[in-house]
Structure 1
Amino acid sequence: MSFKNYPMVSRVVFGRGSFDQLEDILAPKRINSKAPFIFLVDDVFEGNAWITGRIPLAYDDKLIYISADEEPKTSQVDELVEKIILDHKDRPSGIIGIGGGTILDLAKAVAIMLTNEGEAKDYQGWDLVKNPAIYHVGIPTISGTGAEVSRTTVLTGPDKKLGINSDHTPFDQVILDPELTKDVPTDQWFYTGMDCYIHCIESLNGTYLNAFSQSYGEKALELCKEIFVENSLSDEEMQDKLMMASWHGGMSIAYSQVGVAHAMSYGLGYLLGTKHGIGNCIVFDHLEEFYPEGVKLFKKMKKIHNITLPKGLCANLEDSEFDTMIDVAMSLEPLWENAVGKNWKQTITRERLKELYKKM
């Protein structure tokens, strides 16, 4: 039997204001004055000097603003890589992603594609990346996705929505500064926080569960309950704890897997462009048969925070569109095996998934 030899983020700094250490962290990693650092930054921060004014640009460094309105696409990765190669003779010293899961996933993918031939879509799957990525740094400005710690980068490609899952994907350095999350709008905070909560529920109730993933999952779940149910924390405590929940939630699936909500949410994302966090929530709301306790608590948290989920997403879809979503969802075999077991194909039929999608 072979055990997963899992790559971790090799360096991490945590603390309010730790973003200010970015310059010191990057300086020794600069190859030379012609090899720039490329900063991929969520465009919500354009004109926000409190964040952008602290980015330590020098020499030929480049700041590229990116919209996170849509899920990251393989074509977007290819365009960014091409732009970076055309604009700079030298290979960059590193890629720094500053934003939520979308931006962090793009940063990881770009760092990989700068050293690997072909297009990003060629690497969607498990362990297809041959060459190590260039140095890359993740700085989350919203907590919950676990993108800062995971070995995947979730991308929508021409045929599927699937991550580049590889040992070369994790960041070389992560800066966890909870202060950067202070202006996240409430609904966004909830959806992304629930991504973390759902990671825990799917990991802790899966057939892949082991002591490693369980220890992280239980801690993350405990933090989620403190934040979203007990509601007795100050804003600062909440930011600190959600950042830790996100990290632990990401670690809990590192050595196990996610489940039904993620598989079906990928289908929604691929067909309708539904954002990952809210997509997970829309699906999870209907999964009592798989996660009775988890869904019950989720509904309670929705109520506490006055969250109303969009309805009728699948109301006017054609049969062929349902088929597309079902194809995407069912292609994620490890997720179903974790959720239902080795013989999942006997119970998870296309009809059953169609019935579930119709409720959304």
Structure 2
Amino acid sequence: MSYRNFPMVPRVVFGRGSFNQLEEIISPKRLNVNAPFIFLVDDVFKGNAWLTSRIPLAYDDKVLYISANEEPKTSQVDSLVEEIILTSRQGTSGIIGIGGGTILDLAKAVSIMINNEGEAKNYQGWDLVKNPAVYHVGVPTLSGTGAEVSRTCVLTGPEKKLGINSDYTPFDQVILDPELTKDVPKNQWFYTGMDCYIHCVESLTGTFLNAFSRSYGDMALQLCKEIFLGDNLSVNDAQDKLMMASWHGGMSIAYSQVGVAHAMSYGLSYLLGTKHGIGNCIVFDQLGEFYPEGVALFKDMVKKHDIYIPTGICAHLDDSEFDKMINISLGLVPLWENALGKNWQKIITREKLKSLYKKM
């Protein structure tokens, strides 16, 4: 029996205001004065002095503001890497991602591709990366995706939506400062929080479940219930707990896997550009036959917070478009195997997937 020997984030700081320690954390990692740190920052913070004035720029360091309106693409990674390499005279000291899952995934992918030849699309898959990434730091400003802790960075390529899954992907350092999530709009807070909740349900009901993933999944699920169904949490407490739930949810799937909702939402995202959090919610809403308890609780959460879950987004698709989504989804073999076991193909046929997508 061979057990997975997977990497964890070696260093993490947690606490309100811990973002202020970024300078003291990264300064010793500077290679030389001509090797800049590159800060990839969600462009919602452009002009937000409360956050941007605390980014510790020195020498040739640069801030690149990036829109998170679309899911990260392999082509976007390639152009960022080219820009960074052309402007860094003596190497790059590190990549610091400040934002939600999209920005964190881009930061992980860029840090890998600076040290690996070719195009990002050639590394979509499992364990294809040859050389270690440059030093990279994750600073989440949104809680739920688990991107701060995972060994993947999910990218939409020309042919598929699939992560660069490798031992070199995880951040070298993460700063968990719940204060940074204070201005997240309510709908986005919910959709991204549900990404974490769905991680837990898929991990805890999957065939890959073990004591390691269960311990993290149980903790994250309990926190999600307190946050989304509880009544007496202060704002600060809710922010702290959701950041911890995101971390634990990410750890839970690190040693197991996600399932049906993620496999199907990748199809939506690839074809329609649906953002990951809301895509998971749209799919999960229709998965009562696979996750009866989890979906029932999800519907309670939606109702309690008066959240709109879009419907009818597949109503106008033709057969070739359904086929594209189904192909992307069926390509995610480990997710289906975790959800339904070795014989998953007997349960999930193309017709079955099409009928589920038609409900969305």
- Scaled by the length of structure 1, the TM-score of the pair is 1.00
Residue 158 of structure 1 corresponds to which residue in structure 2?
158
Q: Is 1:76 matched with 2:76? A: yes
Match for 2:128: what amino acid? Answer: L
Consecutive unaligned residues of structure 2, counting only runs of 5 or more, are: none
For 1:286, what is the secondary structure of its paired residue?
coil
Q: CA deviation at 1:90?
A: 1.7
Q: Is 1:143 matched with 2:143? A: yes
- Map Cα deviations across residues 257-282 of structure 1 (whole Å, 9 max, x no partner): 00000000000000000000000000
For the residues of structure 1 that align with 2:175 and 2:220, how far apart are their CA atoms? 19
- Map Cα deviations across residues 288-314 of structure 1 (whole Å, 9 max, x no partner): 010000000000000000011111100
For 1:175, what is the secondary structure of its paired residue?
strand
Q: CA deviation at 1:315?
A: 0.3
Q: CA deviation at 1:14?
A: 0.3
Match for 2:183: what amino acid? Answer: D
Match for 2:344: what amino acid? Answer: W
For the residues of structure 1 that align with 2:264 and 2:119, how far apart are their CA atoms? 26
For the residues of structure 2 that align with 1:86 and 1:176, how far apart are their CA atoms? 31
Residue 178 of structure 1 corresponds to which residue in structure 2?
178
Residue 55 of structure 2 corresponds to which residue in structure 1?
55
Residue 215 of structure 1 corresponds to which residue in structure 2?
215
Structure-to-structure mapping, 1:264-303, within 5 angstroms: 264-303=264-303
Q: CA deviation at 1:91?
A: 1.3
For 1:139, what is the secondary structure of its paired residue?
strand
- Scaled by the length of structure 2, the TM-score of the pair is 1.00
For 1:171, what is the secondary structure of its paired residue?
coil
For the residues of structure 2 that align with 1:339 and 1:311, how far apart are their CA atoms? 24
For 2:267, what is the secondary structure of its paired residue?
helix
For the residues of structure 2 that align with 1:201 and 1:171, how far apart are their CA atoms? 25
For the residues of structure 2 that align with 1:232 and 1:173, how far apart are their CA atoms? 33
For 1:261, what is the secondary structure of its paired residue?
helix
Structure-to-structure mapping, 1:1-360, within 5 angstroms: 1-360=1-360
For the residues of structure 2 that align with 1:345 and 1:200, how far apart are their CA atoms? 23
For 1:209, what is the secondary structure of its paired residue?
coil
For 2:65, what is the secondary structure of its paired residue?
strand
- Map Cα deviations across residues 98-153 of structure 1 (whole Å, 9 max, x no partner): 00000000000000000000000000000000000000000000000000000000
- Map Cα deviations across residues 53-80 of structure 1 (whole Å, 9 max, x no partner): 0000000000000000000000000000
Q: CA deviation at 1:232?
A: 1.5
- Map Cα deviations across residues 223-254 of structure 1 (whole Å, 9 max, x no partner): 00000001320000000000000000000000
Consecutive unaligned residues of structure 1, counting only runs of 5 or more, are: none
For the residues of structure 1 that align with 2:7 and 2:91, how far apart are their CA atoms? 24
For 2:133, what is the secondary structure of its paired residue?
coil
For the residues of structure 1 that align with 2:306 and 2:267, how far apart are their CA atoms? 27
For the residues of structure 1 that align with 2:271 and 2:253, how far apart are their CA atoms? 25
- Map Cα deviations across residues 14-67 of structure 1 (whole Å, 9 max, x no partner): 000000000000110001100000000000000000000000000000000000
- Map Cα deviations across residues 156-188 of structure 1 (whole Å, 9 max, x no partner): 000000000000000000000000000100000
For 1:311, what is the secondary structure of its paired residue?
coil
For 2:40, what is the secondary structure of its paired residue?
strand
